[in-house]
Chains A and B, each alone.
Chain A
Amino acid sequence: MEPILAPESIDLVSIAPVLVLTVFAMGVMVLDLFAGKSKTLLAFVSIVGLLMTAISAFAKVGLPVFSFNDSYTVDHLSVCFILIFTLSSALAILISIDYNDRENIKAGEFYSLVLFCTVGMIVLASSTDLIMIFLGIEIVSICLYVLAGIRRNHLKSNEAALKYFLLGAFATGFLLYGMALMYGATGTTNLISIADLIKSDGVKSEPLLMIGAVLLLIGFGFKVASVPFHMWAPDVYQGAPSPVTAFMAVGPKAAALVAFFRVFAETLPEISFFWETLLVTISILTMFIGNLGAIMQTNIKRLLAYSSVSHVGYILMAVLVKNTLGSASLIFYMVTYAFMIFGVFAIIIMLGRKGDENLEIEGYSGLGFKHPVIALCMTVFMLSLGGLPPLAGFVAKFYIFNAALQEGFLMLVIIAVLNSAISLYYYLKVIVYMYMKEPVREFQLSITPITLFVVALAIIGTIQLGIFPDPILSLAQQ
Chain B
Amino acid sequence: MTEYFFISVFAIVALIIIGALLALSTILGPRNPTPQKLIPYECGIIPTEEAKGRYPVRFATIAMLFIIFDIEVVFMYPWAVALDQLQLFGLIEMVAFIAILGVAYVYIWGRGGLEWD
Contacts and interface: CB of A to CB of B under 8 A. Distances in A.
Note whether A and B contact each other (Cβ less than 8 A): yes
Contacts of B103: 26, 29-30
A32 B112 CA distance: 13
Interface string B76-110: 00000010010001000000000010010011001
A32 B110 CA distance: 9
Contacts, number: 17
B114 to A, nearest CB: 13
Contact of B111 (A7, A10, A33): A33
Given A30-B106, A33-B107, A33-B111, A10 B100 contact: no
A3 B85 contact: yes
Chain B interface residue number, banded: under 10
Nearest to B111: A33
A26 B82 CA distance: 29
B84 to A, nearest CB: 12
Interface string B34-75: 000000000000000000000000000000000000000000
Contacts of B85: 3
Contacts of B111: 33
B65 to A, nearest CB: 15
How many chain A residues sit at the interface, stated as a range, is: under 10
B110 A33 contact: yes
Nearest to B99: A26
A29 B107 CA distance: 7
Nearest to A22: B100
A7 B93 CA distance: 13
A26 B100 contact: yes
A363 to B, nearest CB: 37
Interface in A43-84: none
A318 B103 CA distance: 41
A10 B110 contact: no
Contacts of B82: 4
Contacts of B107: 29-30, 32-33
B106 A10 contact: no
A32 B108 CA distance: 11
A224 B111 CA distance: 34
Nearest to B107: A29
Interface string A302-314: 0000000000000
A209 B100 CA distance: 37
A425 B85 CA distance: 64
Contacts of B110: 30, 33
A335 B10 CA distance: 71
B36 to A, nearest CB: 47
A7 B111 CA distance: 39
Contact of A7 (B89, B100, B106): B89
A87 to B, nearest CB: 27
Interface string A15-36: 0000000000010011011000
7 A-B pairs closest in CB distance? A33-B110, A26-B103, A29-B107, A30-B107, A30-B103, A30-B106, A3-B85
17 contacts: A3-B85, A4-B82, A7-B89, A10-B89, A26-B100, A26-B103, A29-B103, A29-B107, A30-B103, A30-B106, A30-B107, A30-B110, A32-B107, A33-B106, A33-B107, A33-B110, A33-B111
Interface of B: 82, 85, 89, 100, 103, 106-107, 110-111
Given A30-B103, A30-B107, A33-B107, 10 more contacts: A3-B85, A4-B82, A10-B89, A26-B103, A29-B103, A29-B107, A30-B110, A33-B106, A33-B110, A33-B111
